[in-house]
Each structure stands twice: as structure tokens, then as C-alpha cells.
Amino acid sequence: MKQLTKPSLNHVALKKGQAIATGTMAFYFDRPPGFTFTAGQFIDLSLPNLSKADPEGHTRAFTLAGSPSEQQLMVATRLRDTAFKRTLTDMPIGASIDFEGPFGQFILPTDDSRTIVFLAGGIRIIPFRSMLVEATHHKLSHRLILLYSNRHPKDAAFLGELQTLKKKNEHFTCIGTMTSPNGGTEIWEGETGRIDQVLFKKYVKETEKALYYVVGPPAMVNGLRKMLESAGIQKTNIRSEEFVGY
């Protein structure tokens, strides 16, 4: 995997906006020449001309959902009713956006061959999508297990893509679970309920030897960390990142 790179200021053009789940959009941008990053890192994206004032300002941190091996840069987000999100959604193709980065050290290890277990809820799957696509591209030999919780399949960003990724990576296991499987028109035949001890022990066998990555809102991250620690996992083997207001 690539080493961390120094942040830089870049100007890019919007290439495409695409709905990827209920109330969730992915945005694709030109990739500046020579721009490199490591899967799991984020950028600070700025919109200089907001449609109206936004109390949170004109800059937001976005984890790069695209992988370093993909040609375009891609970010994804829930569409909250803020001036920033409205402006981003309404931007015409070709419009210029500024970003600074990459930042962050929530990345895969470069010198560790242990099984890696990913635990995510909702749109917080973003850094794991980047990591898993990159791991598959480089044919890493790590055993990779993803436990991914959503309310309903229509809310699950990238789930279909990640399930397909299993066909390209024999080391990867993708387990989706729905907390409200009957909340829509789609039929769900997979796991149900939240990520708990029962689901965890069903799919993760080498518990004490694995490395754990956890992402989600603060309450979810705190709950999953406690669950892992109660299962005998050492704190040093758990890496987490909280996503607030995504």
C-alpha cells in the first residue's frame, strides 16, 4: 500500500453526481495530475459560492470513497438540508471545486498480515469501500471480513458492489444485516438486526488474532468497541473513527 502523502491544495471539476442509496449521493471529480492518497484518508472540500449562508461554513471533510487505484476521485454523502449540501447537489457538471488533502491515518497496515474485520453502519461504509477495492486491486492476501448494518437494503450504499467484490477476492467475506428488513418493497433474505455478539461470533472465528476497524456515529462506535472488548479483544487491536453529521 502507498505511504501517506503531504496535503496539497487542488482545483477540480465535477464530472458526475449519482444516487447510490436513499437520500445518498456520490460525486465524481477529475483527479489532479500527481495526486496520491491512501485508502481511508479524507479531504477538505470547499464550495466558495454557497446558495445561502451555512452556519458550518463552506468547507466539509469528506473521506474519499474512491480507491487510489481508480482514475477519478469520488466522495459520497447523505443529503442533509444544509446550504452546503444543497449547493453541492445543484452544481452543474464541469463546475470547479477546491479541496485540500489528503489527511488522516485511518488506513490499512502495511506490515501486518492478520485477518482484518470491518464493522460499519450506513453511509460510514465509505472508508471501507476504498480499502476493500484497493485491497482487491493489489490482491492482498489478508483475510477480510465486513459486517455492514443498515435499516433496509435501499439505504445500503455500495452494498451491491461490495457483494460483487467477493467474486473478485476469495479472501473477502461481506455480510450485510438489516435492522428493519420489512421497511420497504425489497425482499431481504440475509442477516437481520444490529451488529451484536451473536452475529460477530457467527462470522469471526479468529477473534483474538484479528485487527478491527470500526466506523459510525459516536454512539455506535462506542457500543461496538465495548462489544469487542467484552469478547476479549485488546484495545490495541481496535481502530475506530467517528463520523458526525455525515
Note down pLDDT in tens along the chain; length 246 residues. 445 677 888 999 999 999 999 999 999 999 999 999 999 999 999 987 777 777 777 899 999 999 999 999 999 999 988 888 888 999 999 999 999 999 999 999 888 889 999 999 999 999 999 999 999 999 988 899 999 999 999 999 999 999 999 899 999 999 999 999 876 667 899 999 999 999 999 999 888 889 999 998 889 999 999 999 999 999 999 999 877 655
What single DSSP character describes residue 65?
-
Domains and their CATH numbers in the chain: 8-103 (2.40.30.10), 116-242 (3.40.50.80)
pTM, two decimal places: 0.92
CA angle 62, 121, 210 (to 5 degrees): 100
